[in-house]
């Protein structure tokens, strides 16, 4: 069996929408894309150390996949790009018939059943990056084992928040925390029952 871990950048008021680029995700009239950029270098160094050093597969929603696939394959001599490009990628989609980014496999049909099947098989950690809509599905079916959160000292008001209204209530255990010198806080949480299972 293997776990699902969500790796997410958040504002202090809980928004995960469009951290990297102004036009990354303007849906809902969101006007604050790129809110994480001024903190990027130090945060990404920490992400590489804390979340991307060990082997993992990616579990991505279709929109995040398209955004990543348009960018990362064209980046050379970059450790983040190397990790993402070489990872096995499972992509939830009902519209894409062909996935061009290497090592990509579509997941169609019953997403909950397919993700549960992936979790039941041996393999590396399944990491979810971005993929807000997919995360809401996973949250509503209690399929997330770990949250790796980077909270930035910014507030932006309305936007897509990590924990939506269909989130299943659960207790979490803080297993690690660390800050960057520019004020970003890393917090790693596991579901209480998952923490006991790992110990």
Map tokens 């398209």 to a residue: 66
Instruction: Report how many domains make up the chain.
Output: 1
- The chain-wide mean pLDDT, for the chain, equals 92
Q: Which two tokens stand for residue 174?
A: 């803080």
Look at residue 195 and tell me whether its pLDDT is greater than 50: no
Per-residue pLDDT tens digits for 179-188 = 999 999 999 9
Answer with the residue of higher pLDDT: 191 or 148.
148
Mean pLDDT of all residues in 153-174: 94
Helices 132-140, 111-120: axis angle to 10 degrees equals: 80
CB atoms under 10 Å from CB of 152, counted, come to 22
- Residue 175: give its domain's CATH number: 3.40.430.10
Domain residues for the domain of 193 are: 4-198
pLDDT value for 127: 97
pLDDT band at 165 (very low <50, low <70, confident <90, very high): confident
198: helix, strand or coil: helix
Spatial CA neighbour of 58 closest among 124, 8, 105, 127: 127
Report the predicted TM-score, pTM, of the whole model to 2 decimal places. 0.91
Per-residue pLDDT tens digits for 103-127 = 999 999 999 999 999 999 999 999 9
Look at residue 157 and tell me whether its pLDDT is greater than 70: yes
Per-residue pLDDT tens digits for 1-34 = 999 999 999 999 999 999 988 889 999 999 999 9
pLDDT value for 196: 43
pLDDT value for 21: 87
Look at residue 69 and tell me whether its pLDDT is greater than 80: yes
């Amino acid at each position: 069996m293997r776990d699902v871990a969500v790796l997410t950048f958040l504002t202090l008021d809980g928004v995960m929408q469009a951290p990297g680029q102004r036009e990354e995700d303007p849906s809902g009239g969101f006007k604050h894309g790129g809110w994480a950029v001024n903190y990027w270098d130090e945060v990404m160094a920490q992400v590489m150390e804390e979340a991307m050093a060990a082997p993992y597969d990616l579990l991505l929603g279709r929109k995040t996949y398209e955004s990543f696939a348009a960018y990362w394959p064209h980046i050379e001599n970059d450790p983040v790009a190397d990790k993402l490009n070489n990872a096995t990628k499972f992509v939830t989609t009902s519209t894409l018939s062909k996935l061009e980014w290497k090592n990509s496999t579509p997941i169609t049909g019953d997403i909950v059943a397919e993700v549960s099947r992936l979790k039941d098989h041996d393999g590396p950690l399944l990491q979810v990056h971005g993929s807000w809509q997919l995360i809401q599905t996973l949250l509503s079916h209690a399929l997330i084992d770990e949250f790796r959160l980077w909270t930035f000292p910014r507030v932006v008001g309305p936007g897509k928040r990590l924990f939506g209204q269909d989130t299943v209530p659960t207790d979490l255990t803080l297993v690690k925390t660390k800050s960057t010198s520019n004020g970003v806080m890393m917090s790693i949480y596991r579901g209480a029952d998952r923490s006991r299972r790992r110990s």
